[in-house]
Structure 1
Amino acid sequence: MKNYKLYWSIVTILFIIQFFLQYFSVNSALEISEVKYIIVLTEILTTLITAFIPGIILASLSSLFLLKKEKYKNRIKQILPITTSLPLLLYIISFSYIFYKEEVKGEKLGPVIEYNNIKQSESLVCESIKDGKFETKNFFIERTGNHQTQTDKNNGNVSEYEVKWLSNCEYELTPISSEGDNMLVKIVDVTEKYYDCFTTTGTYATKFRIQKL
């Protein structure tokens, strides 16, 4: 436990890793630079507070039972970097998982929601996206009439689907080129650059943002 300076170096490295995870997470979600920096700074301050306060409490309690040959102040000094690193590790694991799901898998994490409970605005118009070329983080999509092709960016595999529009802003995808479950897609927002939708093959839905090309 004498090498507490080394432990503080490890804490610093963990904090830097967490900083970059937070920055890239916000950077991929927002387009306005000024807003990004404000949110990143806010999250960094939140991380510092939520890492050090539990760390100090844990160190204070642990010091009552550990390193009894040392003075109480020295016990806290030696134990604090270890107890501080624990919440930082939890942050890094959770942010890494979120980053992987959103950036690699292309799945937007959020509250679990049942597909049938998703509401759509009565004024929503989806004519502009019934045909066209689109893009997600992992796929290129081309939709024409009742046919859709989906090209995997990673391996180039192409999947084909039959498109059946169930309403003005909801459709069903049936695999043609391979076996698989039908997918329901409910659109909730349409802009000039993208549209947001929820998809499901069962009860619960996942939200995606699909860019227009």
Structure 2
Amino acid sequence: MVFYVWVLIFSLMNSPEDLGCESMKEGEFKIIDVQDDGSKLVTFIERKGNEQIETVEEIGLKMSFEVVWLSECAYTLEWKETIRNEAGFEYPTDLVVRVDIIEIGENYYVQRSSSNLYDFTKECKVVKVSNPQFISMEKSSTDVVRHF
């Protein structure tokens, strides 16, 4: 019984709202997604206020999303505009992505994403960067997107 009380106390002490998500609400970030064939897709994210712009240079894609913060560590993304689409990617404009920040580190956070259209979740490490033009594209094992 004592064990369960300690688990409850610990989980309450470390709720997502206590993670310090405020520091990740705005800025420049990157996500490295390793594909099945070993190739990498790097998504650069610029988030300011209620707008997020995502750029994937490898496929010539740049899109704008509206950010709606649901809580300190949870937000949704809704498509606003496709800015560049060299590969002819068809983005479902009615897609709403929910993002929950589940871990915070010194210069990164781990997010769990789900959507209204697809029955899966995805966890990935999102690294905060100071200048996205000079980011190393080297893969680290903790930067890889995991599908669940």
Q: Same fold (TM over 0.5)?
A: yes
Task: Return the structure number with greater relative CO, CA threshold 8 A, min gap 6.
Answer: 2
Structure-to-structure mapping, 1:166-205, within 5 angstroms: 166-178=70-82, 179-202=93-116, 203-205=119-121
The residue type equivalent to 2:114 in the other structure is: T
Which one has a larger percent strand, Structure 1 or Structure 2?
Answer: 2
Decide which of 20, 27, 31 is 1:132's aligned counterpart.
Answer: 27
Q: What is the RMSD of the two structures over their aligned residues, measured on CA atoms? A: 1.8
Stretches of structure 2 that go unaligned for 5 or more consecutive residues are 1-13, 33-41, 83-92, 130-148
Contact 2:74-2:99 at 8 Å conserved across structures: yes
Aligned to 1:207: 123
Stretches of structure 1 that go unaligned for 5 or more consecutive residues are 1-118
Alignment deviations for residues 132-184 of structure 1 (CA, whole Å, 9 cap, x no partner): 00001120000001000000131232110000000000000000015240100
**Comparing 124-133 with 203-212, which one deviates more in the overlay?**
203-212
Q: Which has the larger radius of gyration?
A: 1
Q: How many residues align?
A: 95
- Length-normalised TM-score, structure 1: 0.42
In the TM superposition, structure 1's runs of 4+ consecutive aligned residues that sit over 3 Å from their partners are 119-122
Task: Summarize the Cα distance change of 1:180–1:193 in structure 2 as closer, same or farther, 3 Å threshold.
Answer: same
**Separation in 1 of the partners of 2:23 and 2:123?**
20
Structure-to-structure mapping, 1:82-161, within 5 angstroms: 120-137=15-32, 138-161=42-65
